[in-house]
Amino acid sequence: MPGSKFISDRLFSLSKNHLSSTVMRLAVTSVALAIAVMLISLAVVVGFKNQIRDKVIGFVAPIHIQTLDRNESFEEQPFVLDERLKKALETTPGIRHYQLVADKAGMIKTEEEIQGVVMKGVGPDYDWNYFKDCLVDGEVPQYEEGERSNDVMVSKAIADKMLLSVGDPVRVWFIDEDMQARGRKFNITGIFVTGLSEFDERYVFCDLDQIRRLNHWEDDETGVVEVWIDDMDSMAEINDALYYSIPGTLASYTARESNPKIFDWLDLLDTNVWLILVLMFLVAGITVISMLLIIIIEKTSTIGLLKAMGASNRFVRKVFMQRSIRILLIGMVIGNLIGLGFCLLQYYTGVFRLDPATYYLSSVPVEMHFSTVLLVNVSTFILWILMLLIPTGIINRIRPSRSIRFE
């Protein structure tokens, strides 16, 4: 056994009679809480951001194409999916699927209620996988090429407000170019909940041919082309490549560009996480430094005795660093068990709930990766070790002739 470890094991006592023992216990607790809070904060924020991002992208698609004269209204200018656009969509790397959609503002009216909505027309090629997971009643509508359908899917927010359920007829009114009201009768086949109030309180899904007929469009015209990609992290790069290959009268936009408020809000969460990480790191680091300073002061006479017996400053510093590192490791192990235990508990049980109306989610989301856990542990451990070098510098100034006198 190395001499420094032998002395360290006997020098540091956990007996309640020593002040240093209480300080060491506090240091272990501080390190454990810091690691646990950092892991939980990262897991919750990453999970929250990814789930909200997936919800938004699942509704609006990662990339969409429409005419350049895009405005703030809910109705688009029509264009044709011509051969040049098809070629761009089929040859741009990373694109998995594209589909035609169009929006039109309308108003649902029942005997007792009235509600403004946006009818989102979709075609037979629409990918319903996201909404199949959001269904709470009924089923997604099935549309056939060349056959105009009256089936629609509404959100639970609209259904509850208008007292509607699956199988009920619903009349939607539209205002045409001549400012004349035109009504259409639809049949509800499904009710969904995305948790995003901006969408749930507004959109109703219908057949794209209904929108074409209401807008007097041709059968090959559309308002938007939604583009799905294989890698969401490459959204901006794929959009840039697509932008320069489509016709000049069109433009492509990412989900972030279409919904900047939601994504800017999600970006603000990164600031909160960094603030928590820095605070936890500093609190635990300062506690560990204070622990080592108190132990050094308490063991001043022992340090002088070791030096009088021929021990070098480096050897004495090593004695104190070995015990400090051990305390750090014990605290980090406990902190990892607490943090990862919480994440696993929440992931499999969802015991901690949220208000969907406020947070868009029904339970606290957690998402943790091995690389994140490793990075947090390694980086904080290295930084704490560097911080411990500060108090050990005091050992160089302790003189045996003065320290042994007060033993």
pLDDT of residue 10: 55
Residue that finishes a domain, picked among 248, 273, 289: 248
* 100 has pLDDT over 50: yes
CB < 8 Å & 24+ apart, contacts of 364-369 = 364/44, 364/47, 365/44, 365/47, 365/48, 365/50, 365/51, 366/40, 366/43, 366/44, 366/47, 366/342, 367/43, 367/46, 367/47, 367/50, 368/39, 368/42, 368/43, 368/46, 368/340, 368/343
Asked whether residue 257 is assigned to any structural domain, the reply reads no
Q: Give pTM, 2 decimals.
A: 0.77
pLDDT of residue 192: 93
pLDDT tens figures, 232-256: 888 999 999 998 888 888 989 998 8
pLDDT tens figures, 316-352: 777 777 778 888 899 999 999 999 999 999 999 988 8
Asked whether residue 61 is assigned to any structural domain, the reply reads no
Considering the domain architecture, whether residues 86 and 224 belong to the same structural domain is answered as yes
Considering the domain architecture, whether residues 324 and 228 belong to the same structural domain is answered as no
Query: 193 and 131 in contact (C-beta within 8 Å)?
Result: no
Considering the domain architecture, whether residues 132 and 21 belong to the same structural domain is answered as no
Q: Read off the pLDDT of each residue in 12-32 and give the average, rounded to a whole number.
A: 70
pLDDT of residue 15: 47
* 154 has pLDDT over 70: yes
Using pLDDT thresholds of 50, 70 and 90, give the confidence band for residue 394: confident
Alpha-carbon gap, residue 240 to 233, rounded angstroms: 13
Alpha-carbon gap, residue 67 to 78, rounded angstroms: 8
Considering the domain architecture, whether residues 29 and 148 belong to the same structural domain is answered as no
Asked whether residue 258 is assigned to any structural domain, the reply reads no
Residue that finishes a domain, picked among 182, 217, 248: 248
Considering the domain architecture, whether residues 96 and 187 belong to the same structural domain is answered as yes
Q: Read off the pLDDT of each residue in 153-181 and give the average, rounded to a whole number.
A: 86
Query: 252 and 64 in contact (C-beta within 8 Å)?
Result: yes
Using pLDDT thresholds of 50, 70 and 90, give the confidence band for residue 102: very high
Asked whether residue 344 is assigned to any structural domain, the reply reads yes
Considering the domain architecture, whether residues 128 and 98 belong to the same structural domain is answered as yes
Considering the domain architecture, whether residues 281 and 193 belong to the same structural domain is answered as no
- Percentage of residues in the chain having pLDDT higher than 90: 23
Asked whether residue 327 is assigned to any structural domain, the reply reads yes
* 385 has pLDDT over 70: yes
Q: In terms of pLDDT, which residue wins out, 406 or 296?
A: 296
Considering the domain architecture, whether residues 91 and 216 belong to the same structural domain is answered as yes
Q: Read off the pLDDT of each residue in 111-133 and give the average, rounded to a whole number.
A: 88
Across 89-98, 258-267, 303-312, 375-384, least confident range: 303-312
Asked whether residue 119 is assigned to any structural domain, the reply reads yes
Q: Provide the number of structural domains found in the chain.
A: 2
Considering the domain architecture, whether residues 373 and 233 belong to the same structural domain is answered as no
Task: Quote the mean pLDDT of the chain.
Answer: 83
pLDDT tens figures, 50-99: 888 888 888 888 999 998 876 666 678 889 988 888 999 988 999 999 99
Considering the domain architecture, whether residues 288 and 238 belong to the same structural domain is answered as no
pLDDT of residue 120: 93
Considering the domain architecture, whether residues 106 and 227 belong to the same structural domain is answered as yes
Residue that finishes a domain, picked among 225, 248, 271: 248
Considering the domain architecture, whether residues 228 and 310 belong to the same structural domain is answered as no
Supply the range of the domain harboring residue 199: 69-248
Asked whether residue 256 is assigned to any structural domain, the reply reads no
Asked whether residue 60 is assigned to any structural domain, the reply reads no
- Percentage of residues in the chain having pLDDT higher than 70: 86
